[in-house]
Every structure is written in structure tokens, then in C-alpha cells.
């Protein structure tokens, strides 16, 4: 086992091992789209209430600056969102080792990776290889399982530069746990940018719809995902159905959201009461804004595997050890 795999695997085990929750299962998810409308900054009726603001914890990985927003001691997950790591920003000098995420397995969930600065070279045992640069994203559906690596390109390791990455783990419901693995890598110019408020707000739409604009990633579970850039003073209002859980993370800057201020490295946890979200940028700012309907299914996680039962976890480990997830050299 390589040291790079050990670092990534150990981190995941420490964070998610033993995470088990059994709730009553609801019916099939309905498609729900956010309708983002600029109507001037005012506090609308039926506003979502905020349960708590959570500060990401400093949790470096190897020599990589990392702030973990979820899970932490104050919040475990927001079904269907399991995990959020904010790597960087940091500067790498010439002839560096790059990102420390060498070959490791996944099964039972998806990863959404935002490349804010720098680049990431993705390789996996099922779908191939690509290098995504600043402003792009990677969406990988691990499903039945694969081996993958997320490292820096040879050019970045040679020349250095700024690096900043956010990765989110998106759970899959039981009916999709063993779906065929797939990967989508998009450069910045492949992501629709919807400008609002006279150009002071830019919604980078990854999955879901805004008006007549549709995100390029067809989510299996109707998860809505964006990053949103604000210039100081920019205003944005949207509606999200109360039954859907919201992932709202302040990457940088400071905003007022539904009457509360939230700054860099803050995860805003909303209740499921009300639908209106109102955001005003107090400085230039960047947000991760996603939402999805919870699955309300058992979650049993062991390191890089997220399933619904202990038996499925044991099977995942056996399949990995026997080579059924494929192979990827260091």
C-alpha cells in the first residue's frame, strides 16, 4: 500500500468509520429545481431558518493545507451530502510533489471536485484520465467501485503555482449504489455562467436548472450543484423546497444570508422550514451552493466505501482486495 493511499484512506476511516444511521425510508425523490430570481435585496416571506453556523476545522493532509467543513464535531453530514474538504489556497514552488491523493478505492457514492486554482489530473481504473484546470470541475460516480487518483499535472509539479480545491462526497441511494462507474471532467468554458444583478453575481451551474439554462451534469438523483461568485454588494434570492437539504459553504469573503453573517470557512446549516434564501455579499465572495432531497436510508461507511449495511461493506472490502475494482499503478 502506497503512503499516498494510506493518507487518504486513513483520513476517510477516521472521519466516516462507524457512521451509521437508520431512519424511516421515504418515497421516491421528486425532481425539484431552484428558481433563482433577482428581485432586489429584501427579506422575503417564508424564509428558511438557520439552525447553526459551523466553522470548518483545520485538518492538514501531508503538506496540504486543508479545512474540513463536514464531518466535524458539530455536524456529521447533511443527507445526501456526506463530506466537504477545502484544500488550500496555497502556493507550491517549482519541482513540487503536487497533491497527495494517490491511488485509492471508492464505492457507493459520488465525488464532486471544484478546481478553484491550479489543476488536478484525474486517473481511474474504469474511465481513463484527464487534467482539469482552474474554474473546472470533476464529477465521478464511483457506484459499484473503482480505483482512482487525484494528483497534480506534470506541468504543475514542474512549474508550481497556486492550488485550491474543494471536494464534496454525494451519497447514492441504495438503488444506485452499484451503478456502473462514470466520470465527467469539465473545464471552465464547459460550465454555464448565469450573470445576475448587473454582473455582480455569477452562478456557475453544474447540475440542475436555472430558467432555461441547464447544468451540463445529469445528476442521477436530481442534486442541484453550483458555485456562486459575488462582487461586493451583489444580491441573490432563490427558493428551495423545504424538504430538500441545502449545502451552503462560504469559500471566501463574507455574506449576509437570511439575516446572519457568514464568513470564509463557514458551513451554514438550514432547517427544513421555509423556502426562501436571500444572500447579500458584504465583500467579494465565493459560495458553494447545492441542495438535494434526503434519502433517509441507513448509512454505513468504512473509509472510502459508503453503503447501507455492514454486509455490503465487507463485500466491498473483499471485492477491492480481490482486484474486482480494477487496478491503477502508483
Residue 97 CA to residue 327 CA, distance in Å, equals 22
Domain ranges (residues) in the chain: 3-321
Range with the poorest average pLDDT among 106-115, 119-128, 284-293: 119-128
CATH T-level fold of 3-321? Jelly Rolls (2.60.120)
Segments of 43-198 assigned E as strands = 50-55, 57-58, 66-70, 81-92, 101-106, 109-117, 119-124, 128-133, 137-141, 146-151, 161-171, 182-186, 193-196
Q: Which three cell numbers stand for residue 182?
A: 462514470
State the pTM of this model.
0.88
For the cut 60, the answer to whether the pLDDT of residue 71 exceeds it is yes
Question: 188-216, pLDDT tens digit by residue?
Answer: 999 999 999 999 999 999 999 988 899 99
For the cut 80, the answer to whether the pLDDT of residue 306 exceeds it is yes
Amino acid at each position: 500500500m502506497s503512503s499516498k493511499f494510506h493518507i487518504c484512506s486513513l483520513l476517510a476511516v477516521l472521519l466516516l468509520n462507524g457512521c451509521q444511521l437508520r431512519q424511516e425510508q421515504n418515497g421516491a425523490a421528486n425532481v425539484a429545481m431552484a428558481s433563482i430570481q433577482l428581485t432586489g435585496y429584501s427579506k422575503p416571506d417564508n424564509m428558511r431558518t438557520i439552525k447553526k453556523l459551523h466553522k470548518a476545522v483545520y485538518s492538514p493532509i501531508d503538506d496540504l493545507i486543508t479545512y474540513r467543513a463536514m464531518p466535524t464535531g458539530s455536524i456529521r453530514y447533511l443527507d445526501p451530502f456526506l463530506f466537504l474538504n477545502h484544500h488550500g489556497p496555497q502556493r507550491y514552488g517549482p519541482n513540487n510533489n503536487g497533491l497527495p491523493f494517490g491511488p485509492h478505492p471508492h464505492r457507493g457514492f459520488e465525488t464532486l471536485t471544484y478546481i478553484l486554482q491550479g489543476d488536478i489530473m484525474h486517473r481511474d481504473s474504469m474511465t481513463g484520465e484527464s487534467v482539469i484546470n482552474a474554474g473546472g470541475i470533476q464529477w465521478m460516480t464511483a457506484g459499484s467501485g473503482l480505483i482512482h487518483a487525484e494528483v497534480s499535472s506534470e506541468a504543475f509539479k514542474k512549474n508550481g503555482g497556486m492550488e485550491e480545491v474543494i471536494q464534496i462526497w454525494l451519497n447514492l441511494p441504495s438503488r444506485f449504489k452499484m451503478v456502473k462507474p462514470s466520470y465527467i471532467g469539465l473545464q471552465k468554458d464547459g460550465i454555464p455562467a448565469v450573470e445576475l444583478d448587473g454582473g455582480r453575481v455569477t452562478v456557475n451551474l453544474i447540475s440542475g436548472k436555472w430558467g432555461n439554462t441547464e447544468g451540463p451534469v445529469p445528476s442521477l438523483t436530481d442534486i442541484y450543484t453550483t458555485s456562486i461568485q459575488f462582487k461586493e454588494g451583489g444580491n441573490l434570492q432563490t427558493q428551495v423546497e423545504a424538504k430538500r437539504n441545502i449545502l451552503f459553504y462560504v469559500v471566501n469573503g463574507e455574506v449576509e444570508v437570511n439575516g446572519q453573517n457568514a464568513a470564509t470557512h463557514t458551513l451554514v446549516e438550514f432547517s427544513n422550514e421555509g423556502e426562501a434564501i436571500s444572500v447579500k455579499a458584504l465583500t467579494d465572495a465565493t459560495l458553494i451552493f447545492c441542495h438535494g432531497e434526503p434519502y433517509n436510508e441507513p448509512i454505513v461507511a468504512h473509509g472510502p466505501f459508503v453503503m447501507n449495511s455492514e454486509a455490503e461493506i465487507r463485500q466491498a472490502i473483499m471485492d477491492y482486495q480481490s482486484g474486482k475494482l480494477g487496478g491503477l499503478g502508483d
